[in-house]
Amino acid sequence: MKKISEKKRKRIFEIIQIGNREDFPSRAFDIGLVIAIVANITVLLLDTFDELSAYDGLFRVIEIVTVLIFCVEYALRIWTADILYPDETKGRAIVKFILSFDGIVDLLTILPFFFLSGMGALRFLRVARIFHLFRINTQYESFQVITSVLKEKKNAILYSVFIIIVLILAASLTMYSVEHTAQPEAFKNAFSGIWWSVSTVFTVGYGDIYPITVLGRVMGVIITFLGVGAVAIPTGILSAGFVEHYSRLQRSVDAAQYKNSAAVILADRDSPYVDRSIREIEEMNAVCVTALIRGELVIIPEDSVRVEEGDVLLATKL
């Protein structure tokens, strides 16, 4: 009985995980979950229209049904957490899932229905699950490049943010000095002009607070130009980071294909590499994995990335 129970539990785990096209129940579960997420968010939006108050009862039913689906899914994921993390004990696996990105998103989108009625906007976090279901997650190239570039350029970005903060404070103090006498209500102290300086530095210009003196307007023009340059700094840093990252990735792929006795590792159905991390595979084979090809995607082989059935790994021998 226990073996049958474990077999069924493993099958449930396979169904609630991202399904492949050949596994109809798993694929149907993914599509059904997407429909539930879209319906839940749609009801959240439609419920704000007074003209649709006659449908409040229907909206409430849809909300209850979809949240119930989310609760069942969350419970099943906790129940099968030890299969997701086979190297952990059952208790540690459950804690690891609850504290994981998916676990936190699932919990935050369920809690508002029961305890945080004013935080319904947290349901939009479920959109992250749609990305996950369609295999657009942090393991894939586009999203992984973003996180990698942010880590690599974090110091330069922090410096540019510091410059922007200094510019905002300096602009606020400057406008207080030249505008306080003319409009004491708008610029009461050195910090009262921060709202104006932020909207000016970021070239939004709401117009609720604005200089009226000649000197104030001149300073406003200068600060606007400085703001354009300041905001462009982190943009340039990130752009350069993306170019560098893609260049390194392309060089890695080229090196794996044409140089240094390139090794090709296939993760077929019976392969011992399926569901292992890149680090584990490198240690098993004494190689350096330079790229992971999954269908038409080229994935950056970070240590934590897990290999799936059908993947092709390009590696160089150490």
* Three-state DSSP string of the chain: CHHHHHHHHHHHHHHHCCCCCCCHHHHHHHHHHHHHHHHHHHHHHHCCCHHHHHHHHHHHHHHHHHHHHHHHHHHHHHHCHHHHCCCCCHHHHHHHHHCCHHHHHHHHHHHHHHCCHHHHHHHHHHHHHHHHHCCCCCCCHHHHHHHHHHHHCHHHHHHHHHHHHHHHHHHHHHHHHHHCCCCCCCCCCCCCCHHHHHHHHCCCCCCCCCCCCHHHHHHHHHHHHHHHHHHHHHHHHHHHHHHHHHHHHHHHHHHHHHCCCEEEEECCCCCCCCCCEHHHHHHHHCEEEEEEEECCEEECCCCCCECCCCCEEEEEEC
Q: What is the pLDDT of residue 231?
A: 79
| Top-confidence residue, 166 or 244 | 166
Q: Is the pLDDT of residue 311 over 50?
A: yes
| Top-confidence residue, 213 or 193 | 213
CATH architecture assigned to 2-136: Up-down Bundle (1.20)
Q: What is the pLDDT of residue 41?
A: 84
pTM of the model: 0.52
Q: What is the pLDDT of residue 248?
A: 65
Q: What is the pLDDT of residue 241?
A: 79
Question: pLDDT tens digits for 211-256?
Answer: 889 988 898 889 888 888 887 888 888 888 777 766 666 655 555 5
Mean residue pLDDT of the chain comes to 79
Tell me which of 3-12, 18-27, 124-133, 222-231 is least confident. Answer: 124-133
Q: What is the pLDDT of residue 61?
A: 92
Stretch(es) of the chain classified as CATH 3.30.70.1450: 260-317
Stretch(es) of the chain classified as CATH 1.20.120: 2-136
Pairing assessment for the beta strands 297-299 and 262-266 based on DSSP bridges? unpaired
Q: Give the C-alpha separation, 24 to 180, whole Å.
A: 69
Q: Is the pLDDT of residue 87 over 60?
A: yes
Tell me the mean pLDDT in the region 279-307. Answer: 79
Give the type of residue at 195: W
- Could you give phi then psi for residue 231, rounded to 5 degrees? -70, -30
Residue with tokens 């208790």: 91
CATH 1.10.287.70 fits 154-239, yes or no: yes
Q: Is the pLDDT of residue 144 over 70?
A: no
Stretch(es) of the chain classified as CATH 1.10.287.70: 154-239
CATH of 260-317, one of 3.30.70.1450, 3.40.309.10, 3.40.50.2300, 3.30.300.30: 3.30.70.1450
Q: What is the pLDDT of residue 239?
A: 83
Q: Give the C-alpha separation, 44 to 42, whole Å.
A: 5
On whether the CB atoms of residues 29 and 13 are closer than 8 A, the answer is no
